[in-house]
Amino acid sequence: MSAHADLLLNARWVIPVEPDGTILEHHSVAIRDGKILAVLPTDAARQQFAADAEKHLPDHALIPGLVNLHTHAAMTLMRGMADDLPLMQWLETAIWPTEARHASAAFVHDGTLLAAAEMLRGGITTANEMYFYPDAAARAFDTLGMRCVIGITAIDFPTPYASSADEYLKKGLATRDAWRGHALTRFALAPHAPYTVGDSSFERIVNLANELDLPIHIHIHETAQEIEDSLKQYGRRPLARLNQLGVVGSNLIAVHAAHLSGDEIDLLARQGASVAHCPSSNMKLASGIAPVASLVDHNIPVGLGTDGAASNNRLDLFQEMRQAALLAKVSSGDARAIPAARALRMATLDGARALGMEADIGSISAGKQADLCAIDLSGVDTQPCFNPLSHLVYCAGRENVSDVWVAGRAKISDKTLLHKSNNELLAIARVWQNKLGN
């Protein structure tokens, strides 16, 4: 007697991410109640499962949904507003003044909605978000059915959202309480950076993280200037200061980490911390090149982030996989550094591990959530295809994504976003372009 499945996905290739480098040809994924029941050869799947629906992916690679380990989704509304500037000038002359004038719950909701649509179209099913108005962001992600980790932001200066670090934390924790138990929404503590958060705020954040078992998501060692300023103000490099305050631990997601000494890499490895590598943003802002090959050699989980669309200007993890692999090779002088299988793992399982979600997402295996992405490799621009895993990193792009599922539910079908029309999204973008342009 056949077992029941809600959906059977029959693919030319299933690339489960673990074990590393595995490519399963003519395999199927059986799904029930939003979870993966089994991964098995297609002929066997049709014998073992009676499915309510089947999806045939004859020239496709089926991979786990991608995990965007660092983004500021609402900043999509500022895409292209301030290009070709270094980080602090970009922040001080363009981004922070714009936020002071326009940031609001409506701004965050609409910007996040646009970002979520862009990310889903590119196969991203989970976003680790850091911005203001967390409830507005959570509502936008929920509208499109995307998995998210919402940052409880803390900064030691006022913005339209809050006047002090205590108020940021109070509002963020209240939002967490309001969304408690939501299947697709989790939370993290998100102090902005060492140069915007004081010692007493960090001490409170560490206590909250331990009490509530939450990740700490923070920009760190993004630029050489950040390190120089910390040495002048505190007499210590930022990571050393955070370590003394108890911030550096197994729940730390260190974003950018472009400037690390050997001792600092050892510290991150020893403490079990993770790194969110944002290669395109780092390059565009001329911030630096993270020592990713060395981080991986030290068994530090390195996930990939897009950063915000104001500094990238794309929310595209296919681009980040390619950039991460190529940058690691040229910066280390080793063409073997970060092979395609590792780059895909960075965009999936390693990002999930950094968030403490590796038991639920990040690979295609029985019992995990059915967060999946299908990439069509049938086109002339992806032929011939000797190795589909290599193609995912070095050849294909987000334009090849055909279908996306979150918890077994279709979000992109035949390259069409479900649940929101393009016309609705374009109307939202036009409204904000007019507001921000005046």
**Three-state secondary structure string covering the chain:** CCEEEEEEEEEEEECCCCCCCCCEEEEEEEEECCEEEEEEEHHHHHHHEEEEEEEEEEEEEEEECEEEEEECHHHHHHCCCCCCCCHHHHHHHHHHHHHHHHCCHHHHHHHHHHHHHHHHHCCEEEEEECCCCHHHHHHHHHHHCCEEEEEEEECCCCCCCCCCHHHHHHHHHHHHHHCCCCCCEEEEEEECCCCCCCHHHHHHHHHHHHHHCCCEEEEECCCHHHHHHHHHHHCCCHHHHHHHCCCCCCCEEEEECCCCCHHHHHHHHHHCCEEEECHHHHHHCCCCCCCHHHHHHCCCCEEECCCCCCCCCCCCHHHHHHHHHHHHHHHHCCCCCCCHHHHHHHCCHHHHHHCCCCCCCCCCCCCCECCEEEEECCCHHHCCCCCHHHHHHHCCCHHHEEEEEECCEEEEECCEECCCCHHHHHHHHHHHHHHHHC
pLDDT digits (tens, 9 = 90+) for 277-298: 999 999 999 999 999 999 999 9
- At 96 the pLDDT is 86
* CATH 2.30.40.10 is held by the domain 3-64+370-407: yes
- State the pTM of this model: 0.97
- At 435 the pLDDT is 92
- At 2 the pLDDT is 85
| In the predicted structure, residue 438 carries a pLDDT above the cut 80 | no
- Sorted by where each begins, the domain ranges of the chain are 3-64+370-407, 66-354
- At 437 the pLDDT is 81
- At 223 the pLDDT is 96
- At 249 the pLDDT is 98
pLDDT digits (tens, 9 = 90+) for 149-180: 999 999 998 999 999 999 999 999 999 999 99
Q: For 54-62, what is the mean pLDDT?
A: 98
In terms of CATH architecture, what is 66-354? Alpha-Beta Barrel (3.20)
- At 44 the pLDDT is 97
pLDDT digits (tens, 9 = 90+) for 74-86: 999 999 988 998 8
Average pLDDT score, the chain: 97
- At 1 the pLDDT is 60
- At 168 the pLDDT is 97
- At 87 the pLDDT is 83
- At 186 the pLDDT is 98
pLDDT digits (tens, 9 = 90+) for 321-370: 999 999 999 999 999 999 999 999 999 999 999 999 999 999 999 999 99
Percent of the chain with pLDDT over 70: 100
pLDDT digits (tens, 9 = 90+) for 362-383: 999 999 999 999 999 999 999 9
- At 88 the pLDDT is 86
